[in-house]
C-alpha cells in the first residue's frame, strides 16, 4: 500500500473519530491491506494527532483473549497508543455524543517506573519495571460501521480504543499474583461477567512483555511513566445512556464509569 493511500486512510479514520461518523471497513474497500499496512495507517494517524497537540501517555494491548483471536482469525494480540485526550477521570460522565459504538472492557493498567526495551523482555522484567498496577476500564470504540471489522481494520483504527479510566489506587505488583486475581464486572448493579487474570495471555504481565518485544521491531520502547493497558479479562460489554459500569478486582480495588447522552 503506497504512502499516499496510507495517509488518506489515516485521515479518514481520524475524521471519523472527531466527527463521530463511522466509515466503511478498510478491508471491504481494500481487501489487499495487510497487518503491516494497517500499522502504518495507525502510525500516520498518530502523527496527525501529535501535530494537533495530543500527547502520548501510554499504550494498549488488544485481542488478548483466545475467544477474540479466534473470532478475528488471528493468533496474536494487537496494539495501539493512548493519548492524553483519551483519558477520562473516574467519576466524570462519558457522553455518548463523543463516541460511536462504545463497549467496556475491564483491565489491569501497568504504570512503569523504568523503560522496557525489547527484544527479549520477560515477565519478570516487566514486574521489575512496574511501579504498580491499577484497576482500569477501557471504553473501546470503532470508527468502522457496525463493528464489521477484521484484524486490519482494528489495527488501523488504533486497536479500537475510545477512552481509558484508571482508579486512584496504585498497588505494588509483588503483593498480588495476577494470574489468580478475580474480577467481577457489574452493569447497573448486576453482575454480568466474572473472570481471572489468567484470561489475559495466561498472565497480564505476559501481555506487556509481548508488547515490548513486538514494538522492538519498530525501534519503539515502553517508557517510564507510561500507562500500559494489558488487555481485557472478559468479553466487551455494550453500554447505552444511563448505564453504570463497575469492575472490582480482588486485592486491587474497583473502578467505575457512567454514561450519559
Q: DSSP labels for 97-140?
A: GG-SS-EEEEEEEEEESS-B--SS--HHHHHHHEEEEEEEEEEE
Sheet bearing 94-95, strands edge to edge = 94-95, 253-260, 244-249, 182-187, 190-196
* Count of Cβ atoms closer than 10 Å to residue 29 Cβ: 11
Residue 68 structural domain: 3-260
Name the H helices within the chain. Answer: 3-19, 26-29, 35-51, 66-72, 123-129, 151-156, 204-216
Three-state DSSP at 19 gives helix
For 75-96, what is each residue's pLDDT tens digit?
Answer: 789 999 999 999 999 999 999 9
Closest among 95, 90, 203 to 137, alpha carbons compared: 90
pLDDT tens string 128-145: 999 999 999 999 999 999
- Number of domains, the chain: 1
Report whether pLDDT(67) > 70.
no
Rounded Cα distance, 75 and 51, in Å:
34
List the CATH number of the domain containing 49.
3.90.850.10
The pLDDT value given to residue 169: 83
C-alpha cell at 89: 477521570
pLDDT at 244 over 90: yes
Question: Which pLDDT score, from 0 to 100, does residue 57 have?
Answer: 98
Q: Residues 111-147, buried b or exposed e (16+ Cβ, 10 A)?
A: bbeeebbbeebebebbbebbebbbbbbbbbbbbbbeb
Q: What average pLDDT is seen over the chain?
A: 95
Give the model's confidence band at 194: pLDDT under 50 very low, under 70 low, under 90 confident, else very high.
very high
Whether 239 contacts 102, CB under 8 Å: yes
C-alpha 143 chain-centroid distance: 15
Amino acid at each position: 500500500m503506497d504512502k499516499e493511500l496510507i495517509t488518506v486512510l489515516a485521515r479518514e479514520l481520524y475524521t471519523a473519530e472527531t466527527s463521530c461518523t463511522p466509515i466503511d471497513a478498510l478491508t471491504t474497500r481494500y481487501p489487499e491491506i495487510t497487518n503491516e499496512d494497517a500499522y502504518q495507517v495507525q502510525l500516520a494517524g498518530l502523527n496527525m494527532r501529535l501535530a494537533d497537540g495530543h500527547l502520548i501517555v501510554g499504550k494498549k494491548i488488544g485481542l488478548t483473549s483466545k475467544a477474540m483471536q479466534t473470532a478475528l482469525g488471528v493468533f496474536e494480540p494487537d496494539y495501539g497508543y493512548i493519548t492524553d485526550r483519551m483519558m477520562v477521570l473516574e467519576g466524570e460522565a462519558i457522553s455518548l455524543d463523543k463516541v460511536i459504538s462504545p463497549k467496556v472492557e475491564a483491565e489491569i493498567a501497568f504504570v512503569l517506573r523504568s523503560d522496557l526495551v525489547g527484544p527479549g523482555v520477560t515477565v519478570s522484567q516487566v514486574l521489575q519495571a512496574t511501579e504498580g498496577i491499577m484497576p482500569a476500564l477501557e471504553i473501546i470504540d470503532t470508527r468502522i460501521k457496525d463493528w464489521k471489522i477484521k484484524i486490519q481494520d482494528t489495527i488501523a483504527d488504533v486497536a479500537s480504543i475510545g477512552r481509558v479510566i484508571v482508579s486512584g489506587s496504585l498497588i505494588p505488583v509483588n503483593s498480588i499474583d495476577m494470574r489468580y486475581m478475580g474480577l467481577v464486572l457489574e452493569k447497573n448493579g448486576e453482575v454480568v461477567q466474572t473472570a481471572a487474570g489468567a484470561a489475559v495471555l495466561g498472565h497480564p504481565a505476559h501481555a506487556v512483555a509481548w508488547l515490548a518485544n513486538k514494538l522492538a521491531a519498530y525501534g519503539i520502547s515502553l517508557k517510564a511513566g507510561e500507562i500500559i493497558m494489558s488487555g481485557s479479562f472478559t468479553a466487551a460489554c455494550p453500554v447505552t445512556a444511563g448505564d453504570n459500569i463497575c469492575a472490582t478486582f480482588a486485592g486491587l480495588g474497583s473502578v467505575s464509569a457512567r454514561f450519559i447522552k
